[in-house]
Structure 1
């Protein structure tokens, strides 16, 4: 009887371990974002990445790599923290620290606007703050972007002047931060909705590789655009499929090698395609893969 109970307990424990492994939370690290806006310098990008890290810890079950440790590793490896991290570098960093995904991103819009009017000595002013943040999720094992999306945030405030008394509003750091947090919270929800645990592709994830659709001298056209998370100014590495290494016993493909052809820089990005110029290398062909 005791042996029977022990066997049952062992089976239950084994099942619990298997279930735990099956539902293991994805391990994710967030690097500093690039600041492409006209305000705030590099601190805005770092602040946006810090906000996203906090929201992911609060609102999701993801296993988030600690940011201070990540920055220390980046310093040690001389990889920089400016947000200008390409896909291959992100994959390298991810493998180095033992995570499955790296989040890279850019603050594309961040600032304020003013409007108002009135009469009879009374002026009502409106101050608006806005933020737009783009993120990409890089699969460390495949060095591919598996998720790309945008978050937007806004914050408005009012002020009144009567016969010159009272005043308008200058730059309000608190209101600007609230706009940024709104953009980050929207992105957090989108990341939470992506089917990462199941290895699936949810939200705005794109499973298809980005390919060269046309090559005319140094002018390149890709078969993907902003819908795949591309932005003007990005530099992509172009690769070509090489050898397939197969298991001699089963014939299953164990590994595919890729040859690096060169790099291209995006000059114009539309919804469904992107234009680029050759930055380095030669011999580009239609069907080559851009990462």
Structure 2
């Protein structure tokens, strides 16, 4: 009888542990901590407008969900910095990342001027190259400990719209080690959900590792806006309060740069810097993210001219 009571006690204990652990939040290692955001001396307060194209997943695990996870995490992390405006309409210009890869990046070069007129500064696109999970289970007892080892590889690329060339590509690794206790009759759906969560987490870890580099690259690129309309002596720009433009700012008006090609190969080398035509002063805001300026020096400002911080 004593042995029977002991067996019952062990079974009740096992059920209690399983019940309490079945609903627990998956414990993560600190591989996924967000990069610490220290004050950045390069940020001038003007936000760059970015096209973030939907990532795709070419690994055999996770399906489309992992590409969407990578995109959403990058969107979230870029928004947290306060240094970018993610243009929701940019997808209509470029499509998604898979289309860019399929065309060898030619589509970016062909549409760079249209993107520049739209006010975009650079395009971020990429893919999930690998996503895998391995498990090791302790087979002894009613409640089994399962250790999971998850790895992901995410490629992120940046195309400079104003320079009309790709300026960054890197592959980031994300790791997530986890252990949990499962009762030996754990249902299949819970197990699949557990694996999906771990794969998503590993992808998020990889994406977060790219943020410091994206910030450094952005700091080295010039912010570029555009003269949208001229009415009388007032000059309307496609950037305003939301972009970080302030009343009293002085901007230089520049012509569009010329594309430079290699005479031997015909390959595009880059885009020259435009010539300065004059300066304008911001006097007011208009709409959600527009501003009004007047001529400060020089002349011959036309609609479609580009502007930069002085």
Could you tell me whether the CA contact under 8 Å between 2:50 and 2:122 is conserved in 1?
A: yes
Structure 1 residue 53 displacement after superposition: 1.5
Could you tell me whether the CA contact under 8 Å between 1:122 and 1:160 is conserved in 2?
A: yes
Pairing partner for 1:181 from 200, 204, 214: 204
TM-score (norm 1): 0.52
Residue aligning to 1:82? 98
Pairing partner for 2:60 from 38, 45, 55: 38
Q: What whole-Å deviation, never above 9, does each CA across 1:191-245 have from its counterpart, x for those lacking one? A: 12x1423339xxxxxxxxxxxxxxxxxxxxxxxxxxxxxxxxxxxxxxxxxxxxx
Residue aligning to 2:261? 257
For the aligned residues, what is the CA RMSD?
3.6
Aligned 1:3-82 pairs, distance under 5 A: 24-66=46-88, 69-74=89-94, 79=95, 82=98
Q: What whole-Å deviation, never above 9, does each CA across 1:249-275 have from its counterpart, x for those lacking one? A: xxxx9652357969xxxxxxxxxxxxx
Could you tell me whether the CA contact under 8 Å between 1:83 and 1:106 is conserved in 2?
A: no
Whether 1:137 aligns to 2:122 is no
Q: Are the structure 2 counterparts of residues 257 and 157 from structure 1 closer, same or farther at C-alpha, using a change threshold of 3 Å?
A: closer
User: 1: distance between equivalents of 2:141 and 2:68?
Assistant: 46
Q: Which has the larger radius of gyration?
A: 2
Structure 1 residue 121 displacement after superposition: 7.0
User: 1: distance between equivalents of 2:258 and 2:181?
Assistant: 69
SS, match of residue 51 in structure 1: helix
Unaligned runs of 5+ in 1: 1-20, 201-252, 263-287
Structure 1 residue 174 displacement after superposition: 2.7
Q: What whole-Å deviation, never above 9, does each CA across 1:13-66 have from its counterpart, x for those lacking one? A: xxxxxxxx9653332211122322112334432332232122101124123222
Aligned 1:107-146 pairs, distance under 5 A: 107-117=128-138, 119=140, 123-146=144-167
Pairing partner for 1:148 from 156, 162, 169: 169
User: 1: distance between equivalents of 2:268 and 2:261?
Assistant: 12
User: 2: distance between equivalents of 1:186 and 1:33?
Assistant: 16
Structure 1 residue 137 displacement after superposition: 0.7
Q: Are the structure 2 counterparts of residues 55 and 103 from structure 1 closer, same or farther at C-alpha, using a change threshold of 3 Å?
A: same
Could you tell me whether the CA contact under 8 Å between 2:137 and 2:147 is conserved in 1?
A: yes
Q: Are the structure 2 counterparts of residues 102 and 94 from structure 1 closer, same or farther at C-alpha, using a change threshold of 3 Å?
A: farther
User: 1: distance between equivalents of 2:143 and 2:68?
Assistant: 41
Structure 1 residue 135 displacement after superposition: 0.6
Q: Are the structure 2 counterparts of residues 138 and 161 from structure 1 closer, same or farther at C-alpha, using a change threshold of 3 Å?
A: closer
TM-score (norm 2): 0.49
Instruction: Report 1 or 2 for greater relative contact order, CA contacts < 8 Å, sequence distance ≥ 6.
Output: 2
Q: Are the structure 2 counterparts of residues 112 and 260 from structure 1 closer, same or farther at C-alpha, using a change threshold of 3 Å?
A: farther
Could you tell me whether the CA contact under 8 Å between 1:87 and 1:143 is conserved in 2?
A: no
Pairing partner for 2:126 from 96, 105, 130: 105
Unaligned runs of 5+ in 2: 1-42, 223-256, 271-310
User: 1: distance between equivalents of 2:99 and 2:73?
Assistant: 15
Could you tell me whether the CA contact under 8 Å between 2:97 and 2:126 is conserved in 1?
A: no
